[in-house]
Amino acid sequence: MEGHIAIFPSPGIGHLIPFTELAHRLLLHRRLFITFIIPTAAGTTLKPQNDILNAMPETISSIFLPPVNINDLPNDVALATRISLTVTRSLPALRQTLNDLTSSQSVKKSPSALVVDLFGPPSFEIAKDFNIPPYLFSTVSAMTLVSIFHTPILDQMYACEYIDLPEPVRLPGCVPIPGADIAEPLNDKKNEAYSRVVEIAKLYSLAKGVLVNSFLELEPGPFKAMEEGEWCKPEIYSVGPLIRSGSGNQTGEGFECLKWLDKHPVGSVLFVSFGSGGTLSQKQLNELAFGLEQSGQKFLWVVKSPQGKSDASYFYSQTRIEPCEVLPEGFLERVEDRGLVMSYWVPQVEILSHVSTGGFLTHCGWNSILESVVCGVPMVAWPLYAEQKQNAVLLTDGLGVACRVKADGQGVVGRDEINKCVRSLMEGEDGRKMRLKMNEHKGLGVTNIIVVLSFNVSYKFISYVKMQRCPI
């Protein structure tokens, strides 16, 4: 074996999935040990994480750190605070784990790099104490990464809230971002999550390198800006799109929907899903049901139990629901021949790559977007939380591969609006253009990473990651 890489992801399946793909790709090119050191919060279920980690090759091992208590936080605390506190409260356990690994005589045990994601830079201090080079793995778009690099600068520039700015925020190489679409929690300076993110962003320049899960052809402007900007100190490597290659096992729970897709014509089905964490209110759920019904389109919809908060299931898993309990009366019967409603977890990559899938109504999580791009599926953008509104701006104004729903004065997206957007995507002229645009990106998005790792005698991680277009 040629080395050992320690990976410290922040909590949440959306953070873990791209790391597991990074690990797979690293193993394609080098004989490495990889250890996932995973922070956890008390009361969260780890089943989806465990399912994914258990399917990894045996040179990848995982250590779940002891669950930290975040029950002292108020229920309505920002998601970013929840994630970042879980990470910082896990730092003593990370230190202990790194100590155990580095004090071992075995080369297998002593890590030659620590790779963390966006909330992980507070661990850089610990990596330094153990003389382990820290790397950042960006699981968001290059545009969002540019915006995070600029957070401390913008904090100095503007005293007011972004939403009160008369003009959109203009960042180097990026599509202008209207103040109302700035990522959470930066959109609320009074919230302590804001200052947390500003402080974490200041640590980004201490990374030895940043691996970005995006690719040059999709986001040329932000990559160029990071290469040229004085404000961007670490080396930047585009390593995307790293998306799950699929489970291969098509017999498990959730796979019945692939059989259902087989029955429908090419490009005819709209896939509707709000990722691992997105939830809707009961009122919004009803509007979506009626909007899908009115549209007359075929759809495959993953329904979660209705909640008041849009990110309610990100941290704590939801209890499984019977769709008929939360959907309008008679809905399932009325759409029986053209709609399939699932609850819990479906094989999203397999669904998006199925020929019958012609559109994706998405909450605009970055993994979901990359998966849709790789599969060439245009989108209806329905951002809910985190940096999803910024992603929606990139998809609509930047790339022209999605239409975006508009909410009414009470923040509810009405059935007529849903009907309009869905039909426009699935059968309208706008949808046709988006599909053509998406096909351009699809061709470019298939990449192959060549990872060259060289180690000096003390097994320090000196690496570079070079992207090369795959001929297929």
CB closer to ligand UDP, 231 vs 315: 315
Smallest separation (angstroms) from ligand UDP to the CB of 381: 12
CB closer to ligand UDP, 83 vs 98: 83
* DSSP helix/strand/coil, 387: coil
What is the identity of the amino acid at 373?
Answer: V
Closest CA to 63 of 85, 37, 34: 37
CB closer to ligand UDP, 101 vs 393: 393
Smallest separation (angstroms) from ligand UDP to the CB of 126: 26
Smallest separation (angstroms) from ligand UDP to the CB of 275: 3
Encode 413-437: b = buried (16+ Cβ within 10 Å), e = exposed: bbbebbbbbbbbbbeeeebeebbeb
> Which residues, 6+ apart, have CB-to-CB distance to 154 below 8 Å?
169
Smallest separation (angstroms) from ligand UDP to the CB of 157: 29
The residue nearest ligand UDP at its CB is 14
CB closer to ligand UDP, 132 vs 140: 140
Contact residues: ligand UDP, CB under 6 A: 12-14, 17, 244, 273, 275-277, 302, 345-346, 348-349, 365-368, 371
* Residue 85 near residue 73 (C-beta atoms within 8 A): yes
User: Is residue 15 flagged as an active site residue?
Assistant: yes
> Which residues, 6+ apart, have CB-to-CB distance to 285 below 8 Å?
303, 306, 326, 327
Encode 92-122: b = buried (16+ Cβ within 10 Å), e = exposed: ebbbebbeebbeeeeebebbbbbbbbbbbbb
Q: Given 51, 72, 76, 117, which residue is catalytic?
A: 117
CB closer to ligand UDP, 277 vs 398: 277
Tokens 């793995």 found at: 137
Smallest separation (angstroms) from ligand UDP to the CB of 405: 17
CB closer to ligand UDP, 16 vs 93: 16
User: Is residue 363 flagged as an active site residue?
Assistant: no
Tokens 């790792």 found at: 453
* Residue 112 near residue 455 (C-beta atoms within 8 A): yes
* Residue 372 near residue 379 (C-beta atoms within 8 A): yes
Task: Write phi, then psi, for 455 (nearest 5 degrees).
Answer: -125, 140
Smallest separation (angstroms) from ligand UDP to the CB of 298: 19
Q: Given 15, 150, 264, 354, which residue is catalytic?
A: 15
Q: Are strands 357-362 and 269-273 parallel, antiparallel or unpaired?
A: parallel
- Give how far Cα 155 sits from Cα of 89, 142, 162, 232, 250, Å: 26, 20, 10, 17, 48
Active-site residue set? 15, 117
